[in-house]
Structure 1
Amino acid sequence: MKNIFWCKQCNSPILTPKCKVCNTNGFRVASDIRPVFPEEKMLLEILLQYPQGYLSKKSVWYTSGNLLLVDGKTQPLNKGALEKLDICKIREELSRKKSSYYLDHGYSFFNNNMQTFLLCNRERISKIEFEAFEIVEKAKRLDKDFVPIVSFSGGKDSTVVSDIVRRAYANPSIIHAFGNTTLELPETLEYISRFKENNSKIPFIESRSKHDFINVCKKIGPPSRVMRWCCTIFKTGPISQTFTGISATQPILTYYGIRRSESSRRSKYNVIEKSPKISQQTVVSPIINWNDVDIWLYIFERNLDFNSSYRLGFSRVGCWACPSNSSWSFFLTRIYHPELAEPWREFLISVAKEMGKPDPVEYVDSGNWKARQGGNGLESSYKGIIASRPCGDDPFATTYKLARPIENSLYEYFKPFGIISFTQGRSILGEVFVLNKNTGEPIMILQGLPGTNDLKVKIVNQNNYTLLSQRVNCQIRKYQSCILCGGCPSICPTKAISLASGEYKINENKCIGCLKCIANFDTGCLVSKVLQTKKGEVK
């Protein structure tokens, strides 16, 4: 963690104990900070019942722990109490007080304050720039065949990374990839449009899921902090397909705005590492050691355009419905974008009612919906893995009662095990053999007639029988639960899996039988994991 100090003489945060401008000793005020823009100052004046303009000529910063820093003095911000205020009245007051005169007047002071902030901390800017350029140079030396791409989310971090990478490569035409999750704030989409217009030389590629977020929520329940299926369906999957379109054979070097200070999970990330989610991708994080204060230093120093959501008080600008967002973030969304927030809140309340929650409104407004696990209370949930029973006296055969009738698409899910042969078995019984790719010997025999729900699986190759039977269970789960989420194609190292024409397909000529599409997900399938009502339960 960093130490942020305050210089009384300059009325500005400094990143060294002594101010580089006036040589005054500072006093510690925080571990990290971000600026409060005039738009957010205006909202705070309403929430805290300050006179209009009270904060306009004060140096205001936000620190961790729900603290405001006003002219170097910390002031607690009781967000929990503020979030209970009448949203409609806040909107009305904001609309009444909003004026270009106020903002112009407020920005005159703010811009001067930021110039002082830059002067006091120029030494820090040089240090973090050097570190970031060193990381990019190291990544460039990895492999000349890598295709460099900037992952551009429209947030402040990816804005900085975009500028650093283009400068380090001395190339204004580095490919930028934007994963439109369909849940972006309007300000993000406006910024993306501005960015493309102002950087016309950049090849800008946008990926977008074909799924509708609310429709998927109706099928498998809203995402939660534990079950963040939305990232795979609306981000990783579409981006992976886009990367395949950019380069089907060459490896990709993707520059991300990941920072260790953002979360305990990200604190363990490496500067350069193989992506665990997209097989052909190596991830580079040039600003991994930066803090918020460093990001804003760089943005102001380079005079970069950025997402105007930050001016409103948003600290992060990913998906507005993300369960990992703070309650304050959703509070701001309700204020500035009721057309997005209110229908989502009503939907969550309806789900809470379906789940039998005694106080659905409290369940939603308290944020407890974010802790939901599995499909408990949902009509689409299922208890356990699958219905199955041993087949007669054969200990290596199992009969499954499927929720989905047998179709030809069932056999696609068995292609990772080997070659599918429809000719060796008895067609009158619906027998299909799965053969070893190297020897042609049977690995397992599937038996089930099209249109029926009874499937018998006999494992012929009894080496590692337990592990193989578990993987069969995984693929049957996947067959019953698959909504073409995109998770399997993302993880496949040979790009053998496709979702063309609305069907799950595996190219046997490309599949190497690594089984990563099975082992990558708990229970073998992202959706089946989400819908399980009790972990590890087997029917």
Structure 2
Amino acid sequence: MVSMKKGSSFSGRSERSGSSGSHLKSASLPSSIQKGHLGRMSGKGTAQKKQVQRYASNEKDYIFWCMDCNVPLLENGCNTCGKEGKRIDLSQPADVRFCSPYERSVLHELLMAAFECDPLGDRIILLNKIPGDDKTDEILVDGLFFGIFRFDIQKMDYVFEPSVQGANILLENTTCKTVVLKKNSKHLNGKKVKYDLVESVSPDVRENDVVLVRSGNLTGFGISYCDAKDASSTDGPVLRVRKIDSQHVPLSSKVPVMDEVIAANVSYIRAIGKNAINTIKGIANQKEYKKLPVNVSFSGGKDSLVVLDLTLSALKNREVRAFFLNTGIEFPETTDFVSKYCSDNGVELIEKRAVSDFWDNVDTFGPPAKDFRWCCKICKLAPANTAIEECLEKAPTCITVDGKRRYESFSRANISTSEKNPFVPGQLNIFPIKDWKAIEVWLYIYWRKLEYNPLYDLGFERVGCYLCPAALSAEYKRLQVLHPELHDRWESFLVQWAKKNGLSEQFIEHGLWRWKELPPKMLKLCEEIGIPTSATASGSPFNVNITSGISPCKAGGYSIEASIHGLSMKRTMGVMNIIGSMVFSEELGLLMIKAEPSTVKIFSSGSLVVNSESKDAADKLFREVSRQLLKAHRCTGCGICIKACPVNAIELKDGCINVNDRCIRCGKCNDACVVLRYEGKLS
């Protein structure tokens, strides 16, 4: 029996947990469960009514802009001219970054194709990530919002839409895609306009084009309802004005370079760097850790690069090693960069790779998904455990410095400066740049003149596995250009998988394989394009199969292993507070429930491991976990359990039970549950 006690990424990708025991009543299960079968669910996917929040909310949702030096500022004061900057409020999550060379080239092509001009030229451009179906960014230039730059999943290509300020700038440089109106009124906003109010239409306007609109001293943009040649003969509206006003905001005459941006922010960059260094020193130099080696989780990405540099600066006389977990499906650029950077900088590189790789398992599990990250368990968890075990053989604590930032995703919003890994006793994680924005990371890199992964200049906002379901469709399209051999191998598998499961090639083309349960925005996309989703929405029958009986563990106690078919991690997480306190690693797809002294581990791949101090305790806990899984996956939404709860700890959320931290584990909701009452008759 293999012990599943250690189960986390060496990079310490985890969340905080509480600690409390389970006091559930013992309950017998029907014989079908003991034989390894636990009910069946109807299988109809439930569309979520609300969008899931993807990113943490940023309380500092603004930057500044020095209008004299024409550079972005991270604090209200320019180090170059000494003047205060103009405050720029950002849309959440406000994780603003510099426009990459590739993004700049795409934006240039879009502007030239539509308007035959590119007024941005070589200016400093910032991109601020905002919610959207795929890659979607606000464009900031010269302290102005120029427009929206996004990847359209329907067209599978980039599109640009100007803001009012952007339209004003473009109208100073072009007459293309332009409609001039007779009426001069601010009340045009949102209005549909007929041809009798049109003074002129440029001949290049086509139906559904984004067009520039001028009306007297007002400028803005809108959507055309017809081709220019048909405008005069159209009875209905020819244009819908999106937004128009009297703002006139010319671009600055000064075009700075990156060195000037660094100079204007140098005191701020030094300060945050010093604070991060002090954080590392303050923890790593504590008496109990002072003589231990320090490991940096080095993925080859920008955040881990900065953390490695900070750690080397903070602990000049300590042994600092870089750990690289090679999943086997990394970009060649990443593996080359990690190796070369460590070699060039005299850093010991410890590279770990799973014995069983992605391609050995993909036929069994199918493509990984945002909500089904089985690949992380196999490609990251196994080599991570090996690395941690080797570290703990030599020292009582494994210290890992990690570049995780809380603005990257909602699941990382509550990370602390340092955390003991709840999945692996003995591992201490330090997160010195947890509060940094992407622009701060990049300014530090430019200031320190650090060599970075070339993928960032080639169209990738994040660096990870080349077929990661968390990657954007825009990035997956770049894979096709940069590494056609890698793209074609994966695309070939996806097409065959879709065919076997009754799905169309369009389903693959638009990246819908990246979800096991399609979210509302993707279901809407499928409806608009006409892509059938019945095969993917139908799901698989829910059941729990015991794969091994109660066995002694190497680490002590006893364990039971099982496989869960038709698992929904969202539904599972909704009820497991009833068992004990939960810790979830989104990246690994691993949910751990602590019911002291027992633990339960549920992987998004469908693996279930229960560990307890005795055979009876392991058996009892497995039975109760199985019952909660059944309750969650067969929930009828009747709401009886809500009324039965004496502390109001239960609610129905998007058709799923959600038990919050107020749960006292009294078991009254189980007594009231219709599903559990008739569990012996479910098939």
Q: TM-score, normalised by structure 2?
A: 0.53
2:111/2:118 contact within 8 Å kept: no
**2:350 paired residue number:** 205
CA gap 1:535/1:345 in 2 versus in 1, 3 angstroms = farther
**1:384 paired residue number:** 543
2:295 to 149, 167, 190: 149
CA deviation map 1:338-397 (0-9, x unaligned): 33234323422332332323xx233234433222059x879x9764113xxxxxxxxxxx
Structure 2 unaligned segments of length 5 or more: list them.
Answer: 1-57, 131-136, 159-254, 519-534, 565-595, 610-624, 635-681
Letter in 2 for 1:415: P
Between the aligned partners of 2:633 and 2:273, the Cα distance in structure 1 is: 49
1:169 to 315, 319, 339: 315
**2:282 paired residue number:** 138
Between the aligned partners of 1:290 and 1:371, the Cα distance in structure 2 is: 30
**2:80 paired residue number:** 21
**2:440 paired residue number:** 294
1:220/1:381 contact within 8 Å kept: no
CA shift, 1:174, in A, is: 0.8
CA gap 1:238/1:349 in 2 versus in 1, 3 angstroms = same
Q: Secondary structure of the equivalent of 2:551?
A: helix
Written as runs of structure 1 = structure 2, the 5 A alignment for 1:337-416 is 337-357=483-503, 360-373=504-517, 383-386=542-545, 414-416=551-553
Between the aligned partners of 2:82 and 2:497, the Cα distance in structure 1 is: 59
Q: Percent identity?
A: 29
Q: Secondary structure of the equivalent of 1:62?
A: strand
CA shift, 1:113, in A, is: 1.3
Between the aligned partners of 2:604 and 2:380, the Cα distance in structure 1 is: 21
1:115 to 237, 259, 276: 259
CA gap 1:27/1:327 in 2 versus in 1, 3 angstroms = farther
Between the aligned partners of 1:536 and 1:85, the Cα distance in structure 2 is: 35
Written as runs of structure 1 = structure 2, the 5 A alignment for 1:165-244 is 165-171=311-317, 173-200=319-346, 202-244=347-389
CA deviation map 1:187-214 (0-9, x unaligned): 21221132022023x2211011122313
Letter in 1 for 2:543: G
Q: Secondary structure of the equivalent of 2:281?
A: helix
Q: TM-score, normalised by structure 1?
A: 0.66
Query: Are positions 1:9 and 2:80 aligned together?
Result: no
CA deviation map 1:242-276 (0-9, x unaligned): 22224425220100001111111101111111113
1:41/1:56 contact within 8 Å kept: no
**1:57 paired residue number:** 122
2:97 to 22, 34, 40: 34
Written as runs of structure 1 = structure 2, the 5 A alignment for 1:315-330 is 315-330=461-476
Letter in 1 for 2:544: I
Between the aligned partners of 1:180 and 1:244, the Cα distance in structure 2 is: 17
Structure with the larger RCO, 1 or 2 (CA within 8 Å, 6+ apart): 2
Between the aligned partners of 2:82 and 2:607, the Cα distance in structure 1 is: 57
**2:155 paired residue number:** 84
Between the aligned partners of 2:117 and 2:488, the Cα distance in structure 1 is: 28
2:402 to 236, 256, 260: 256
Letter in 1 for 2:601: N
CA shift, 1:128, in A, is: 0.8
**2:574 paired residue number:** none
Q: Secondary structure of the equivalent of 2:81?
A: coil
**2:108 paired residue number:** 45
Q: Which has the higher helix share?
A: 1
Between the aligned partners of 1:298 and 1:524, the Cα distance in structure 2 is: 38
CA shift, 1:221, in A, is: 1.7
Alignment length, in residue pairs?
Answer: 404
CA gap 1:233/1:302 in 2 versus in 1, 3 angstroms = same
Between the aligned partners of 2:630 and 2:110, the Cα distance in structure 1 is: 42
Between the aligned partners of 2:511 and 2:146, the Cα distance in structure 1 is: 25
Between the aligned partners of 2:363 and 2:303, the Cα distance in structure 1 is: 33
Written as runs of structure 1 = structure 2, the 5 A alignment for 1:445-524 is 472=560, 475-477=561-563, 516=599, 519-521=600-602
**1:125 paired residue number:** 269
Letter in 1 for 2:280: V
Q: Which has the higher strand share?
A: 2
Letter in 2 for 1:521: I
Q: Secondary structure of the equivalent of 1:42?
A: helix
Q: Secondary structure of the equivalent of 2:407?
A: helix
Between the aligned partners of 1:477 and 1:32, the Cα distance in structure 2 is: 39
CA gap 1:336/1:10 in 2 versus in 1, 3 angstroms = farther
1:32/1:293 contact within 8 Å kept: yes
Q: Secondary structure of the equivalent of 2:452?
A: coil
CA gap 1:78/1:535 in 2 versus in 1, 3 angstroms = same
Letter in 1 for 2:553: P
CA deviation map 1:273-296 (0-9, x unaligned): 111333331111011111111101
Between the aligned partners of 2:486 and 2:509, the Cα distance in structure 1 is: 16
- Alignment RMSD: 3.8
Q: Secondary structure of the equivalent of 1:204?
A: strand
